[in-house]
Structure 1
């Protein structure tokens, strides 16, 4: 039996502040092996409230930091333990304050995280080996627990600073207190717009796709063919194809498009839907099992074929549009609003929004490399060449870009950079509020640190 946080009452502290198991053993986790002997498998680094922090937790986090390319202080055991303890402190008080977390959301995050990890590593087995797990279910359980605790901590942290704001006077005071030789430099920024033209799917190709899915449905319902086998053979969804099209634990809160969820919850077990359309393509779907508010489903996704004629027509359209803009017949903004096939940007005249800052400016040093390479040498107001790209369906589309504004690297200016300076001031105020909260909560939270870590610089602030 491996000791977990739920069996925390088995841990006691001796007169030297050592962590002891079963009142006799030292700060070690023990198991019985086949010869009924006691074997050391882990050590306890710290206790925060109801949470134990194991030596293995620190080592796993350290390996993860190294895998991300971090080094030096960021991978020191003291630095990592401090991070983990802060996270545990937030999570502990989130539970004390009865902050509720939707398990469905954590499940969804875990599934997405695992899929990303598998894609990056190349195989599930490599991930299982890294985490020391035998099965996918064991790994999912551990990832779920980690993610649940992380979400708890984030929610608690958010509640601490959710009402924190800064006034213009505070922003001014923050800026004036920065020494002249320490004023921040803001890197070169650009504002970028784009026009996207997609090849049209003909009615004939759409009907072929619907007919194909109807034939599969007929094979399953009337001839007893296995839905999962057909998914492996024919589905265009590369994420679920190898699993027979299976998507487990679908709930109303799952991060799936509405049309898909509506169809999933409208069917009885074993029923196969008629073909239906989402933004991703055409589907048929069957329900494997209904479990209360969750359903396990399988689906087959098909993309209508795009003909060579449609691709060439789209190419000529964007090339003509580019020439009209360069000839002054129409502005880039007007052309985007009237002709662009990208709904997210067409209404704003093709204006791209920075996902990190949610505004329209991109700092070159932090820009997506693919976009950076396309606009780095593009002068303000000029139009890029026509670029050919592919969507998730591996279908081609065409794009042109323009830099509508370029702001050179410069020292922070209060008037020109007020929004960015305000953001820095707000972040500083939130950090101070969090530090104040932590200091307060340390006083009324049970905290112990193993003697191996009491020499860490942060330890004296945590120990009473």
Structure 2
């Protein structure tokens, strides 16, 4: 059951305020449900588009509010209670973040924007069927205009995220502050936390046979030779790479030593000179070759090709048989699930802690049933306590397959918040309140120091922030 606050309005507002970030393009799961309805909510509003507000170096058009409505509606949310004034206030907040990010010399690299845009475009095309349909869905005349506008929006959003993160990352909270936050909540308004469970897993990945590995290595060596003989690395990457995120850009990335790439990839990248092509090398994702195009100080511009060895039916059967054997040993009491996970699981992230899954949304070990990933819930719903599932085949977005054994280690019924039992959740709420106060102070200061102008009827809006500097 979702988090309830009964009449606890300040926590509800707190959660909403920290989470209301409006991306201007739908994500993969969003587009499936909205392809049949593409009109803005306020279709009766017929007026010439114009500048309705200015925040620093940024302009906000009347049509930007219509786009925001479309985005909210596309995600299945109820827009009936949202006013244009509220959306303008949110858009102005984003523009102030972006403006101040520029003042603070925060830089978003074009390569970062390109990478994020390509991933989103891949999802959109997958959901809507073609790039032409994506362009049509967003009411653009052509793909070039669509990419250009999307690039600007993504860059602004990334500036917003970095500036906002800069503010809240500096906010820390002490145990005493958490206790004070909890104690000030009236007993009748204590939040209710929904039913939860803790889950552990054992992962068995199929082992690719050596012949298939060698086949991929030989292919990459052939590609390297062809490029050295004059072929285009760009073209080869478009044709052969298994890295969907970079396939449309010919395997292009710009990285530095802090970029979140696996260690092996960065070691090879920074060992090469300009124009040099690596030998095939292995990472957890498969086999790569890298060609360095430019070295600019601490940054390297490169192209790479990833090829993932194919897993045979025999390899898959061997992995499933291993998972069945592990389950039998646990069921027979020969080994505990925890010890089996530590010694037999192929998942590095959960192996060390006995297979316990971490909730990616909360960084806690508990999963609220109504907010759990539907696929995970489906696999767990019929399991009894301590029962081990049959081997479950899972296919990752990359196409990689593996078998999982799951078990429910703990269950928690729906209950009113308890300081000791729910400390992690209460701490998160207390921290959000403190972050929200810090953001409020930041807005008060920056609004005073920034050129802001609101035009026409929007000057009559009642804003949360003092945009009119009254």
TM tier relative to shorter chain:
0.7 to 0.9
Task: Write the deviation string for residues 289-321 of structure 1: whole angstroms up to 9, x where unpaired.
Answer: 537467665544332233333222221111111
Shift of 1:409: 0.7
The answer for the alignment partner of 1:422 in structure 2 is 427
Aligned mates of 1:269, 1:165 — CA distance in 2? 44
Query: In 1, are the aligned partners of 2:216 and 2:308 still within 8 Å (CA)?
Result: yes
1:191 match: secondary structure: strand
**Is 2:202 the partner of 1:198?**
no
Aligned mates of 2:373, 2:221 — CA distance in 1? 41
In structure 2, distance between residues paired with 1:91 and 1:395: 38
| SS, match of residue 454 in structure 1 | helix
Kindly provide the CA deviation profile for residues 254-288 of structure 1, in whole angstroms up to 9, marking residues without a partner as x. 5544444554555566654432222211233445x
Distance verdict in 2 for CA 1:246–1:403, change over 3 Å: same
- Structure showing greater radius of gyration is 1
Residue 185 of structure 2 corresponds to which residue in structure 1? 178
Higher RCO structure, 1 or 2 (CA under 8 Å, sep 6+): 2
Where does residue 84 of structure 1 map in the other structure?
Answer: 91
Q: Which residue of 1 aligns with 2:285?
A: 280
Task: Provide the rounded CA distance (Å) in 1 between the counterparts of 2:169 and 2:324.
Answer: 49
The RMSD of aligned alpha carbons is 3.1
With structure 1 as the length reference, what TM-score do the two structures score? 0.79
> What do residues 107-163 of structure 1 show as CA deviations (whole Å, max 9, x unaligned)?
543443444444444333334341626344x54443343333333333433344444
- In structure 2, how many angstroms separate the alpha carbons of the residues matched to 1:230 and 1:438? 49
Q: Distance in 1 between matches of 2:359 and 2:421?
A: 19
The match for 1:354 is 359
Work out the CA distance in 2 between the residues paired with 1:425 and 1:225.
58
Per-residue CA distance 1:192-226 (angstroms, 9 max, x = gap): 1100111212223322322233334445545x655
1:248 corresponds to? 252
User: What are the residue-to-residue correspondences of 1:321-360 with 2, within 5 Å?
Assistant: 321-360=326-365
- Residue 132 of structure 1 corresponds to 140
Which residue number in structure 1 is paired with residue 29 of structure 2? none
Query: Mapping of 1:306-325 within 5 angstroms?
Result: 306-325=311-330
User: Which one of the candidate residues 154, 168, 188 is aligned to 1:147?
Assistant: 154
Deviations 1:333-365 (A, max 9, x none): 000111111111111111111111112111111
8 A contact 1:449–1:459 mirrored in 2:
no
Structure 1 counterpart SS, 2:334 = coil
User: Hey, what does 1:375 align to over in structure 2?
Assistant: 380
The alpha-carbon distance between structure 1 residues 131 and 276, as it changes in their structure 2 partners (threshold 3 A), is: farther
Which of these residues, 424, 433, 455, is aligned with residue 438 of structure 2? Answer: 433
Q: What does residue 11 of structure 1 align with? A: none
Count of aligned residue pairs for this structure pair: 419
447, 455, 461: which one pairs with 1:442?
447
Contact kept, 8 Å, 1:354 with 1:361, in 2: the verdict is: yes
Task: Measure, in 2, the Cα distance between the counterparts of 1:448 and 1:68.
Answer: 31
Is 2:290–2:302's contact at 8 Å kept on the other side of the alignment? yes
Q: Unpaired segments of 5 or more residues in structure 2?
A: 1-46
Q: Counterpart of 1:44?
A: 51
Pair 1:128–1:226, CA change in 2 (3 A): same
2:395 aligns with 390
Separation in structure 2 between the aligned mates of residue 331 and residue 102 of structure 1, nearest angstrom: 48
Give the Cα–Cα distance (whole angstroms) in 1 for the partners of residues 118 and 259 of structure 2. Answer: 11
Give 1:240 shift: 5.0
Unaligned runs of 5+ in 1: 1-39
Change (3 A) 1:268 1:423: closer
Instruction: State the SS of the aligned residue for 1:89.
Output: helix
**Distance change (3 Å), C-alpha of 1:284 and 1:150:** closer
Alpha carbons 2:205, 2:346 under 8 Å: kept: yes
Paired position in structure 1 for 2:405: 400
Asked whether the equivalents of residues 250 and 295 of structure 1 are also in contact (C-alpha less than 8 Å), the reply is: yes
Are the structure 2 counterparts of residues 207 and 319 from structure 1 closer, same or farther at C-alpha, using a change threshold of 3 Å? Answer: same
